[in-house]
Every structure is written in structure tokens, then in C-alpha cells.
């Protein structure tokens, strides 16, 4: 039997590798349908590097299939924003987005157990965390059996498996990827049209109730607390307005005395404690954070509630939020026996935030 020469074997491997490699570029002029005339009146700035770098992602999970989505991805996102908002521009960084009411951003991210890669779209006010997050898959993960064949195909004796692996992937074409992208963007546009008015209405309610509370804080502490509670009922505790109103509520409470803790707050806090006890990772603390934040929003003057909420945030790696709730605890209970220990903890959390520490695995 004649053996294949090394040069011939290398050439065959190269041919097979090329046959199994697919570069699919999304069209640069990819756009949604014509803009709806009833666009949201707002100035939105899309924050991304300009020009965007080529973003190549591995698709299929078993070998060298690559999808080059940029700059077509950027074009499609800009088209959706222009069809949804009256004023859209682009900036290389949040600092360069002058005068924007909202900042938009997108990125490629895993989007589920069956999806290998998807698009994640975010909208936020400058200096705030995102209030709108939408994601959808662009391509599916290959079956595990194909992945095993793909790994074998890299071993020289098994180069012949490359075409088999490639053919078994059910690889998506450019048209299918583009359809998934545009369908997801259309859904995001519809969601934005529903959610932006609600977001603005809640923001106006918070500002109005906060203003009433400010005007009553000196002469009528009880009335001020009622107004601040009204604001906290619709405020997001993770945003500047929610934290600001909470601080004002605590300041008034520290002068006039804490009110009774409602049963709903106690129930939410108890639920949060159970969830903390079951947490095995930083992500597992998220449900506890939500339950405890709900409790302290219903009972902002509850010192113990803020202490427990701080512990939940610390477990989740939210150093800033944890330090703020510990500070609220001290404001409501300045004579606490563990005051010195809590102050040291606040300093530790601030250092961890400055250093960009990640939460420890549990």
C-alpha cells in the first residue's frame, strides 16, 4: 500500500479545513421597514466604538465556522432606533454622548441553553443602570455529538471527518441570521413603545411625590414620610432617584421615630432570608436582593431590614448598594452595638468597589 506524502496530506487537510470554514457577513445596509410616524420624542445616543471593530464569533460549537456580524449588526440596530425615536446619533463613549436622554448599547452574549450566541440590547439614562434589556438568539448551539465529531476532526488521522461534521451542523445562512436579527429588533421596538411612556410616567410621579415630601419635611414629618413612601412605591431602588428618596425618608425618620413595619415587608424579608440560606453562588443572591429591596421600600425606616438587604447585596457582589444599606442602618440606629464593625464593613465595600473585585464563589 502506498502511503500519502506529507505534503499531499497537508494539502488535503487544508482543502478540507477550507471546505468546513464559513464566513458569513451580515449586510452593511441591513435595515428595518420604514419608520413609524409616531416615533417616541427623545434623543437617543447609540454608544459604540466608531468605526466599530470587526466582531467575529465562533458559531456551531464544533470547529471553525465564523460569523462576521459587524458592521451590518450596527446598521440594523441604528435603523431600529431611528424607526423608534425622533432623534438618534452615535458616540464612541457615554462621556461623548452630550445631551442624550437615553443611551443605547448592544452586545453579543449567550442567550440560552440551546442558543450559542444572541444579541442583547440595553437602554438607560446617563449615569444609571439599564432599565430596558431585551435579548434574543441569532444562532443555535450544535448537538453535542457534532461537537465530539468536530473535536476528532482536528486530530490528523481523523481529518476525513471534517466534511461530515460540517454537513451535520445545520449551519444557518446569512439570510436566516438577518431574519432573526430584524425580527428581534422589531420586537424590541414594540416593547420600547410600550415601556418608555410607563417609565416616564413613573419618573414624573417620583419627582412630584419627592417634591411634596421636601416641602413638608420640616413642618409635617408624618406628611413628608407619606409622600416619600408614595415616591418609593414606584421608584427603582437601584437608581439615583430611588436612593435619594430613601435617604430623605431615613433622615426624617431619624428625627421623628420609625413607623411600624407592615406585614408585607416582613414577609418579603423572610423570603429573602430563606433565599440567602439557599444561595450557592453570587447569581443565587439576586432573588434575595429583589425580595429584600421590596421589603425596605415598603418599610424604609426599618433598620434591621437595611442590614439584611446589605448582606444580600454583598453576596451578589453589589458593593456600592451593600455599603448604602449599611449606611442606612447606621443612620436609623446610630447607637447600634455593632456600629464600629459596620463602619469598617462600609470602608471594605468601598475599597472592593474601587478595586473592581468580583464576588467570591460560595
H/E element, 23: strand 23-25
- Strand 132-140 and strand 115-124: the pairing is antiparallel
Burial class of residue 30 (count of CB atoms within 10 Å of its CB; 0-12, 13-18, 19+): buried
Please confirm whether the linkage preceding 180 is cis (ω < 30° from 0).
no
Residues 6+ apart with CB under 8 A from 185: 32, 76, 77, 79, 80, 121
Burial class of residue 271 (count of CB atoms within 10 Å of its CB; 0-12, 13-18, 19+): middle
β-partners of residue 108 are: 119
Q: Which stretches of the chain are DSSP H helices? A: 6-19, 72-84, 144-152, 162-167, 174-216, 221-234, 240-256, 263-278, 285-298, 303-316, 319-332, 339-355
Biggest alpha carbon–alpha carbon distance for the chain: 102
Distance of alpha carbon 188 from alpha carbon 184, whole angstroms = 6
Distance of alpha carbon 295 from alpha carbon 306, whole angstroms = 9
What is the chain's pLDDT, residue by residue, as a tens digit (362 residues)? Answer: 455 455 555 554 444 444 444 456 778 888 877 656 689 999 999 998 665 555 555 444 433 345 666 678 888 999 999 999 999 999 988 988 888 999 999 987 766 555 557 888 999 999 998 999 998 887 665 555 555 655 666 666 765 565 555 444 444 567 888 888 999 999 999 999 999 999 999 999 999 999 999 999 989 999 999 999 999 889 888 789 988 998 899 888 888 776 778 899 999 999 999 999 999 889 899 999 999 999 998 888 899 999 999 999 999 999 999 999 999 999 888 889 999 999 999 999 999 988 888 886 54
Q: Read off the DSSP letter of residue 338.
A: T
Amino acid at each position: 500500500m502506498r502511503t500519502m506524502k506529507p505534503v499531499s496530506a497537508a494539502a488535503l487537510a487544508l482543502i478540507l479545513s477550507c471546505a468546513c470554514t464559513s464566513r458569513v457577513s451580515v449586510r452593511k445596509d441591513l435595515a428595518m421597514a420604514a419608520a413609524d410616524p409616531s416615533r417616541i420624542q427623545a434623543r437617543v445616543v447609540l454608544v459604540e466604538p466608531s468605526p466599530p471593530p470587526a466582531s467575529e464569533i465562533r458559531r456551531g460549537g464544533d470547529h471553525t465556522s465564523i460569523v462576521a456580524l459587524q458592521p451590518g449588526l450596527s446598521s440594523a440596530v441604528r435603523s431600529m432606533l431611528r424607526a423608534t425615536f425622533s432623534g438618534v446619533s452615535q458616540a464612541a463613549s457615554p462621556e461623548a454622548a452630550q445631551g442624550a436622554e437615553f443611551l443605547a448599547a448592544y452586545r453579543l452574549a449567550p442567550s440560552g441553553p440551546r442558543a450559542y450566541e444572541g444579541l442583547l440590547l440595553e437602554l438607560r439614562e446617563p449615569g444609571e443602570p439599564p432599565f430596558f434589556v431585551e435579548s434574543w438568539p441569532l444562532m443555535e448551539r450544535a448537538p453535542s455529538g457534532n461537537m465530539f465529531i468536530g473535536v476528532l476532526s482536528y486530530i490528523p488521522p481523523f481529518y476525513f471527518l471534517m466534511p461530515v461534521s460540517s454537513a451535520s451542523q445545520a449551519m444557518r445562512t446569512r439570510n436566516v441570521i438577518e431574519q432573526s436579527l430584524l425580527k428581534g429588533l422589531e420586537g424590541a421596538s414594540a416593547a420600547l413603545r410600550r415601556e418608555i411612556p410607563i417609565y416616564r410616567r413613573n419618573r414624573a410621579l417620583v419627582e412630584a411625590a419627592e417634591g411634596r415630601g421636601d416641602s413638608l419635611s420640616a413642618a409635617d414629618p408624618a406628611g413628608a414620610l407619606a409622600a416619600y413612601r408614595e415616591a418609593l412605591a414606584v421608584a427603582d431602588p437601584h437608581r439615583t432617584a430611588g436612593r435619594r428618596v430613601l435617604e430623605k425618608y431615613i433622615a426624617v425618620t431619624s428625627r421623628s421615630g420609625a413607623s411600624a413595619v407592615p406585614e408585607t415587608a416582613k414577609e418579603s424579608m423572610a423570603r429573602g432570608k430563606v433565599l440567602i440560606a439557599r444561595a450557592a453562588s453570587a447569581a443565587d443572591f439576586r432573588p434575595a436582593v429583589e425580595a429584600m429591596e421590596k421589603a425596605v421600600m415598603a418599610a424604609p425606616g426599618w433598620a434591621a431590614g437595611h442590614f439584611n438587604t446589605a448582606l444580600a447585596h454583598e453576596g451578589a457582589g453589589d458593593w456600592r448598594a451593600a455599603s448604602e444599606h449599611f449606611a442606612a442602618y447606621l443612620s436609623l440606629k446610630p447607637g447600634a452595638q455593632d456600629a464600629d464593625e459596620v463602619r469598617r464593613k462600609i470602608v471594605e465595600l468601598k475599597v472592593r468597589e474601587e478595586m473592581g473585585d468580583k464576588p467570591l464563589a460560595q
